[in-house]
Structure 1
Amino acid sequence: MKNVSAALAVHLGGEVTTLATCWRLERNDGWVRGFTDHDRSLVIDGVTYVAATGFLPSAIKSGSDLSVDNLDVDGFLDDEALKAEDLTAGLFDGARIDIFLVNWADLSQGRVLLRRGWLGEVKRADNRFSAEIRGIANRLQQVAGKLYSRLCRTDLGSAECKVVLGPLTDELAISAVSSGDTFTVPTARPTGFYTFGVCTFLTGANAGAATEVLQHNGQSIQLFTPMPRPIAIGDQVRLVVGCDKTPETCHARFGNILNFRGEPHIPGNDKVFSYPIKS
């Protein structure tokens, strides 16, 4: 049951309504923005809900069987509000979104909350985007607990791993750029040291963005995906040692085999094919 003020309930029951849909988007870094399908911007609780972006929601569907709610939001990418580079950099991953109705002719009547959730998969084409809104029921489909794995299932440097990353982390300036995903840094670390590690841009156009390292060869660093904005000589990056999660690397590189969180000796499906076939 939704909470609706008495005045707004009367308005909703009338023959003619002046309703507008609003979206409040809050990223994990504290960035907050509001959007509305009304033809003019609205100021609600100190947040300006701009009308220029043009959000379009799909039908809002809710069920009592704990199935995942079905809702997508389409919109235009706007340089002032939503930037394609920010979407690509993952700044909107897991952002919280509230969707509600208001009477634009009398905002004092309050609001009707339609849906509250988090941004899921975001697709982009040309100057448009489509974002999936995931409700709390989506968490019931997530894997809970731990699964057996031949590789280590924990993150390097976590409380379970216990490897101290400070001495294995370097902050360096980019000395040359080959492409959107490959650059050179003046490092003396051996080849492969940063492979599968994390690269975080501290300055430049990509400041704040982080991605994984695909390959470290000498002083050359290749990322898994190109950065959303151009990489420039002089950009400062933080490079953290990588781990391929095998027991060999855990022992040889980190001396941490006692904290290895995997089961490499448990037979897998391929064990069946290791036995000789008798005719």
Structure 2
Amino acid sequence: MSGEFNAGLEAHLKGGLTTVCHAWAITRKDGVVFAFTDHDLPLRFAGFEFRADAGLSALALAQSTGLSVDNTEALGALSDVSLREDEIEQGRFDGAQIQAWLVNWADTSQHWLNFRGHLGELTRAGGGFRAELRGLTEALNRPLGRVYQKPCSAVLGDRTCRFKLTQEGYAQALPVQTVTDARRFVWEDFLSYDTDWFTRGRLEMLDGPATGLWGGIKSDRIIGTARVIELWQPIRGSVQSGMQIRLVAGCDKRVETCRLKFNNFANFQGFPDLPGEDWVVSVPSSSNVNSGGSRR
């Protein structure tokens, strides 16, 4: 979306001979900020310091007034001093906020915010990357609303669930003992929780190159004296023995789990008494329960 056009910049553009360039700022979800310009010297304005090291350059900036996705792309170079390939691979730039300006490099008070949105799909090749830029109207294309279903629709610990994961017994920090392919974790004599306690929960990295990354837990089993936890997908970063992780209890969204495991039934966001699809064939019966389902 476009910002208010700067009067000074407008006058400068109408003068014929211009000294303008582009500038971009990327703000990741973890708060890390990257700012670049295609000018040959660094610039400072809008609270950012823009580096002049070819971190990003625009291919096209086509915006529309409807709800269609803006045809907007950018090219960038991968390097240790700008955007690193391993951080893109780890997903640290997924959904990052991006702002783009047209600025008079001779007088940086003359600048215009001509795009604001977030990073979409990123592809990497030949030491560089291509990023899809999605405008603010992209969010309006997503279906929203409440789904009426028996399972709970909340995420454990969110503002609708309201369960405090800081309560004792629902999260455990400990070092990695044995790890295979950043996906299968094994601990000896870690039996203080029931089997499946962490199934559908989270494994969060607390230190090392993968700090801040997490994976969904597919299974939590006890085999002999060992606890084996397997993730749905590998952690997208280096994971080694001795690194600190945090295990968060899992929730299968059932009303029984909410009431018995978390004692949080008052905040259950499902509809456990919602009739099933075959309720229309239910008829009274004096001999047994006739719910419309199979009698076997």
Give 1:184's aligned residue. 186
Amino acid at match of 2:244: Q
Give the secondary structure class of the aligned counterpart of 2:83. Answer: coil
Separation in 2, partners of 1:67, 1:58: 19
Deviations 1:200-227 (A, max 9, x none): 1112221222222222222222222222
Structure 1 residues 51 and 108 mapped into 2: Cα distance closer, same or farther (>3 Å)?
closer
State the Cα distance separating 1:162 from its structure 2 match.
4.2
CA displacement at 1:169 relative to structure 2? 0.7
For structure 2, the 5+ residue unaligned runs are: 282-290
Whether the 8 Å CA contact 1:53–1:77 is kept in 2: the answer is no
Mapped partners of 2:279, 2:78: distance in 1 = 51
In the alignment, what sits opposite 1:78?
Answer: 79
In 1, distance between residues paired with 2:292 and 2:129?
A: 52
- Once the two structures are superposed, the pairs formed by residues 1-279 of structure 1 within 5 Å of their partners are 2-6=4-8, 8-38=9-39, 40-45=40-45, 47-104=48-105, 106-108=106-108, 110-125=110-125, 127-165=127-165, 166-167=167-168, 168-186=170-188, 187-188=190-191, 189-218=193-222, 219-267=227-275
Provide Cα deviations, 1:211-262, integer angstroms capped at 9, x if missing partner: 2222222222222222222111111111110112123433453344454321
The question of whether the paired residues in 2 share the 8 Å contact of 1:53 and 1:78 is answered with no
Contact persistence 2:150–2:273 (CA under 8 A)? yes
Cα distance change on mapping 1:51 and 1:185 into 2, 3 Å? farther
Distance in 2 of aligned mates of 1:143 and 1:22: 33
Alignment partners' CA distance in 2, 1:260 and 1:2: 45
CA distance in 2, matches of 1:72, 1:268: 47
| 1:74-131 alpha-carbon deviations (Å, 9 max, x no partner) | 3222222212332333332332221011233x13452122111222333444533333
3-state DSSP of counterpart to 1:33: strand
Q: Do the aligned residues in 2 keep the contact of 1:41 with 1:48 (CA within 8 Å)?
A: no
Distance change (3 Å), C-alpha of 1:172 and 1:117: same
CA RMSD of aligned residues (A): 3.0
Q: List alignment gaps of at least 5 residues for structure 1.
A: none
Percent of pairs identical after alignment? Answer: 34
User: Which amino acid in 2 is paired with 1:225?
Assistant: Q
Query: Does the aligned pair in 1 maintain the 2:278–2:292 contact within 8 Å?
Result: no
* TM-score, normalised by the number of residues in structure 1: 0.83
Structure ID, larger Rg: 2
Q: Residue 153 of structure 1 contacts residue 262 of structure 1 at CA under 8 Å; is this kept in 2?
A: yes
Aligned residues: 273
**What letter matches 2:14 in structure 1?**
G
